[in-house]
Amino acid sequence: MASVFSRDRVEKHELEQVVQQALNFLDADQRVVVVLVDLQDCDYQEAAQILGIPLGTVKSRLSRARLRLHHLLNT
């Protein structure tokens, strides 16, 4: 049973590394929006306020970033 937990931890760590590497391929503007919304659970409006940008800009950056991440993680 302990080996299953260890394997799960290793797999989780490996996944985190892959995601971090993919995040590093994003432009800084896109990366910060992904971090705020998807990793820190800010809503779009909060992210817009934190970054001092319009709500629509947050949405478009997030959309482009998610599309890029999808491509990076599935190739």
Q: Report residue 48 as tokens.
A: 């817009």
Provide the pLDDT for residue 36.
Answer: 97
Residue count (the chain): 75
Provide the pLDDT for residue 40.
Answer: 96
Q: Which of the pair, 15 or 43, is modelled with greater confidence?
A: 43
Q: What does the mean pLDDT of the chain come to?
A: 92
Contact 61, 33 (CB under 8 A): yes
Helices of type H across 1-75: 2-24, 28-34, 44-51, 55-73
Regarding pTM above 0.85, the answer is no
**30-60 pLDDT, tens digit each:** 999 999 999 999 999 999 999 999 999 999 9
pLDDT at 16 over 90: no
Rounded CA-CA distance 41/36 in Å is: 6
